[in-house]
């Protein structure tokens, strides 16, 4: 048999093996890596989705928190795992940002991971301390222009989505506010409530109680559409910065060589799970919207997000080792 014939048979054999494996899948517990601390958005999403996959696929989904390096330790572990469908990642926008934020990564998000299914997207709220004399995006821009560098905003760390959301705001509005990095959203909230910070971009779960009590003033959402939780609050784009859209998104990934049949099966099960009424209700309570994309659509979206955030990272000057 010639070498050419052999090389032609090998891919066919791989396809047959992949189809057989996918047909029998899953026959043991699935490990879903949540690369951030317990209780955060990624962890909560992983547990909600993991429970539904367990119900739908008949095998337990075990959530494993592998924290560190902005989510990249967990992502690298999945990228290097066996492509058998039993090690998956709940990844998202922090990884797309990390592709340009970190000088050295042990994996490539596009080349080393399979985009399986997007799960949900989260806008954030731009919230101000009530002492700040601005009640809209336009008033905030005018105030920032009158006091260049004097308004402080906090975030959960350099390069975090909420840090870069306000860096993008600065760029699009032509203003300069000063970023104060913290080690977590809880610390940001404490200093914002105390008036040590003037503003921040924050997720719904942590900001909502204080917006409702009047301790913080919400002036805009960072996403493309309004939220049913605060329908009276406009988006940043509506309020004056056309085209502004910063949405934290999360989805399920696997190792790059995951068989296409397995990717398709997982995509179907996850998509069906997140559109179930009880799960949709849980997501809405978090300020999130379920997201349905095919694997190819999700992969294209991930690539576009990496390009988008590379530009924001460069303009902000943010870098991490």
Give yes or no: residues 199 and 128 share one domain: yes
Question: What's phi and psi for 38, nearest 5 deg?
Answer: -55, 140
Residues 118 and 252 in one domain: yes
Please state, as a whole number, how many other Cβ atoms lie within 10 Å of the Cβ of residue 6: 9
CATH number of 181's domain: 3.40.190.10
Residues 134 and 161 in one domain: yes
Residues in Cβ contact with 105 at an 8 Å cutoff, skipping those fewer than 6 apart: 72, 76, 98, 99
Let me know whether 54 and 106 are in one domain.
Answer: yes
Q: Is 78 helix (H, G, I), strand (E, B) or coil?
A: helix
Q: What is the arithmetic mean of pLDDT over 305-312?
A: 92
Domain identity same for 101 and 111: yes
Q: Rounded distance, CA 28 to CA 186, Å?
A: 38
| pLDDT mean over 157-167 | 90
Domain annotation covers residue 298: yes
Could you tell me if 145 and 182 lie in one domain? yes
Lookup: tokens for 119: 């799960």
The domain of 205 spans: 123-221
Note the pLDDT tens digit of each residue in 13-50: 555 555 555 668 999 999 999 998 787 778 888 999 99
Taking alpha carbons only, the member of 25, 69, 52 closest to residue 254 is 25
Whether 13 and 75 share a structural domain:
yes
Is 3 a residue whose pLDDT tops 50?
A: no
pLDDT of residue 36: 84
What percentage of the chain exceeds 90 in pLDDT? 69
Based on the domain organization, do 99 and 147 belong to the same domain?
no
What are 88-127's pLDDT values in tens digits?
Answer: 999 999 999 999 999 889 999 999 999 999 999 989 999 9
pLDDT score recorded for residue 320: 72
- 11-34 residues labelled b (16+ CB within 10 A) or e (exposed): eeeeeeebeebbeebbeeebbbbb
Task: Give how many domains the chain has, as a whole number.
Answer: 2
Q: Verify cis geometry, omega within 30 degrees of 0, for the bond prior to 64.
A: no
Q: 291 and 157 share a domain?
A: no
CATH number at residue 20: 3.40.190.150
Residues 89 and 137 in one domain: no
Q: Model pTM?
A: 0.84
Tally the residues of the chain.
321
Say if residue 101 is in the same domain as residue 134: no
């Amino acid at each position: 048999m010639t070498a050419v014939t052999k090389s032609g048979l090998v891919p066919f054999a791989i396809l047959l093996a992949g189809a057989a494996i996918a047909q029998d899948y899953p026959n043991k517990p699935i490990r879903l890596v949540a690369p951030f601390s317990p209780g955060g958005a990624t962890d909560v999403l992983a547990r909600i989705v993991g429970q539904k996959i367990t119900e739908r696929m008949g095998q337990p989904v075990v959530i494993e928190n592998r924290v560190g390096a902005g989510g990249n330790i967990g992502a690298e572990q999945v990228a290097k795992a066996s492509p058998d469908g039993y090690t998956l990642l709940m990844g998202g926008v922090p990884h797309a940002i990390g592709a340009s934020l970190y000088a050295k990564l042990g994996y490539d998000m596009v080349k080393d991971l399979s985009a399986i299914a997007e799960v949900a997207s989260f806008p954030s709220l731009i919230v101000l301390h009530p002492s700040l004399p601005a009640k809209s995006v336009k008033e905030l821009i005018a105030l920032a222009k009158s006091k260049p560098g004097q308004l402080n905003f906090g975030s959960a760390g350099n390069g975090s989505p909420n840090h870069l959301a306000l860096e993008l705001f600065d760029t699009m509005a032509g203003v300069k506010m000063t970023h104060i990095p913290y080690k977590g959203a809880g610390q940001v909230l404490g200093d914002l409530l105390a008036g040590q910070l003037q503003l921040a971009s924050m997720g719904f779960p942590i900001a909502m109680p204080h917006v409702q009590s009047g301790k913080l003033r919400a002036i805009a959402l960072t996403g493309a559409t309004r939220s049913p939780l605060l329908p009276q609050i406009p988006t940043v784009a509506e309020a004056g910065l056309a085209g502004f859209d910063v949405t934290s998104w999360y989805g399920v990934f696997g190792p790059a060589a995951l068989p296409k049949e397995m990717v398709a099966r997982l995509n179907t099960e996850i998509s069906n799970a997140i559109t179930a009424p009880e799960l949709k209700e849980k997501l809405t309570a978090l300020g999130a919207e379920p997201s349905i994309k095919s694997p190819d659509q999700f992969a294209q979206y991930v690539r576009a997000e990496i390009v988008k955030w590379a530009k924001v990272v460069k303009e902000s000057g943010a870098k991490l080792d």
